[in-house]
Amino acid sequence: MSLLRRRKQQPQREQPPAPSSSELNEESSNGSDRDEKGKGDKGKKPASSSSAPPASKDATKRTKAKWSCVDSCCWLVGCVCSAWWLLLFLYNAMPASFPQYVTEAITGPLPDPPGVKLQKEGLRVKHPVVFVPGIVTGGLELWEGHQCAEGLFRKRLWGGTFGDVYKRPLCWVEHMSLDNETGLDKPGIRVRPVTGLVAADYFVPGYFVWAVLIANLARIGYEEKTMYMAAYDWRLSFQNTEVRDQTLSRIKSNIELLVATNGGNRVVVIPHSMGVLYFLHFMKWVEAPPPMGGGGGPNWCAKHIKAVMNIGGPFLGVPKAVAGLFSSEAKDVAVARAIAPEVLDSDFLGLQTLRHLMRMTRTWDSTMSMIPKGGDTIWGDLDWSPEDGFECKAKNQKSNDSEVSKDVSGKNEVHPEPVNYGRLVSFGKDVAEAPSSEIEQIEFRDAVKGNNIAHSNTSCRDIWTEYHELGWGGIKAVADYKVYTAGSIIDLLRFVAPRMMQRGSVHFSYGIADNLDDPKYSHYKYWSNPLETKLPNAPEMEIFSMYGVGIPTERAYVYKLAPQAECYIPFQIDTSAEGGDENSCLKGGVYLANGDETVPVLSAGYMCAKGWRGKTRFNPSGSKTYVREYNHSPPSNLLEGRGTQSGAHVDIMGNFALIEDIIRIAAGATGEELGGDQVYSDIFKWSDKIKLKL
């Protein structure tokens, strides 16, 4: 028993640590020596385990210090997730006033929102307001779909969280596309616009469109009975919104109801972006006789509309629309396409992103409403454009109440690099800069398109675009013409996308009317082109053009042939084309001019600056027009969000100065009481360069 007790009391001997990999290698290399030694030591008793030397600490440290690539990735993901959840917790835990407190501590006290400021001045609700959203900003929901869309009834396919873009992308593309022949719904699919103020108050959660303006109007007493969101399916041609959904009739009825229930006060209409063209179409439709029009009579607008306050209106189109239809690109997309062509432009992982995008957007007839209008007369030709001499370097000019902006002349005069803005599409930087006499153009309009291997390629047939029928001959003919102006860009699009343009030619026109009394201009295809239609007979109706300035905006493009063109989009913006210095207007294959990042000043301002100014053939009743520009000032820090002085195309909807102007007009003020024109750009000077019969 005592022997057993003594054994229990003995402490357990420490086990030697496992040998390191280096020691194992050493052992294997010295194995033969040990074998030889072992032969001579056969008779010896082996040493006990307690006499074995312990492994060195350095070897143990070396073992623990090993760090693989997977460990690094996991560590990084863990840190990001932890930081995200911490920030999310803090955001939800902090008081609602904390961000404002921090912002005020950095920048000083914030000004009152316009609604609060004008409420203190005693302004109250008077004229009902009608909002007309632009392209892509209005929500669309599913009412009927294919089997792949099971469970999405009345769920938003456009707007909201866009969750189904990630869950079932090909199904989403199928349901967002329209019929290639009719421009209406595909069989078995019904996607309809969301209705009410929620249709376009936010594009996605946290990204406001109309929400800030609505909230400020509510401060002076506005509510849903005095506000109306004229939501429509922005994919359709304007007349087809009436054919399919009777949207134009609904807008007419709602405006009449607003006037009748608000003491006879006429409405203030606030269209944004493409909504400007849509409402221009509406004003002609509502007075035209049935069945093509709404039958309201020649005085309907005069009786029902006090003012039309157009925000960021592409009256004369946007060059951006050309790039979108030609190659599904804009400046940022072109950069991404150059950086990661295997993601956006190839069969990598079966994404084929740009081809899916082109297949979908080319069924949206509304995009053709924004092709540049007026041809070379408005946009310039090979040797001339209204913006000649524009300096891409920011100016210090400020002229709030002037009708004509003054040129800034200083001691350090900068001579801008000459830019041929009239050349909307040039194949090569050398062509964009060459004298017109040195450019040899080979006619493309009658070129034989030829055959393309895409016809027998299953992948190409699955993602059909009209480029698959263009053939190598057609692709070469387009590139050999070398340069396209606004006058030839229509023919270019008809050549590369004949089916799309055939649908579009039924609904839109891009010329300049010689005689507006010609009966042909009573057709609806001309109603959204301000150069081919008259304003309503409403001398007391005011028209405002309100837009941001001071942001480089796409005006012309340098293109090249894509490396692989048999099943790909064969043309792409040449992002390697750069100007000579940092003040150059050529950045990443795009020539930039003044604008709001989407609409150039020329398109947004010309009609109110000159085309409709006074009594002209486009404005026979002499409705007063005003140009109100808002100089862009980005937010000073992240806590300011998208800023209160932004001039960007969508962010301007939160611009305090613009909101204040709108509220004052809605409360009863006139354009003269606002101060008339507010101009920061050279819009009046550029307008004078355009030789258009008025």
Q: Exactly one of 177, 185, 233, 273 is catalytic; name it.
A: 273
Q: How far apart are CA 617 and CA 513, in angstroms?
A: 10
Handedness of CA 322, 546, 305, 609 (dihedral sign): negative
649 is catalytic: yes
Q: How far apart are CA 680 and CA 663, in angstroms?
A: 22
Which distant-in-sequence residues (6+ apart) come within 8 Å of 616 by Cβ?
694
Query: Do 144 and 175 meet the contact criterion of CB atoms below 8 Å apart?
Result: no
175 is catalytic: no
Tell me 553's DSSP state.
E
127 is catalytic: no
Taking the chain, what is the end-to-end CA distance rounded to the nearest angstrom? 124
Environment class of residue 693 by beta-carbon count within 10 Å: exposed (0-12), middle (13-18) or buried (19+)? exposed
Altogether, the residues listed in the chain come to a count of 694
Handedness of CA 494, 500, 506, 508 (dihedral sign): negative
- The phi-psi region of residue 14 (left if phi > 0; otherwise alpha if psi is between -120 and 50; otherwise beta) is beta
Environment class of residue 689 by beta-carbon count within 10 Å: exposed (0-12), middle (13-18) or buried (19+)? middle
b/e code 431-469 from CB counts within 10 Å (16+ = b): bbbbeeeebeeeebeebebeebebeeeeebeebebbbbb
Q: Exactly one of 304, 649, 681, 682 is catalytic; name it.
A: 649
Residues facing residue 631 across a β-bridge: 549
Q: How far apart are CA 525 and CA 237, in angstroms?
A: 10
Q: Exactly one of 596, 661, 677, 682 is catalytic; name it.
A: 596
Query: Do 678 and 401 meet the contact criterion of CB atoms below 8 Å apart?
Result: yes
Residues that are catalytic: 273, 596, 649
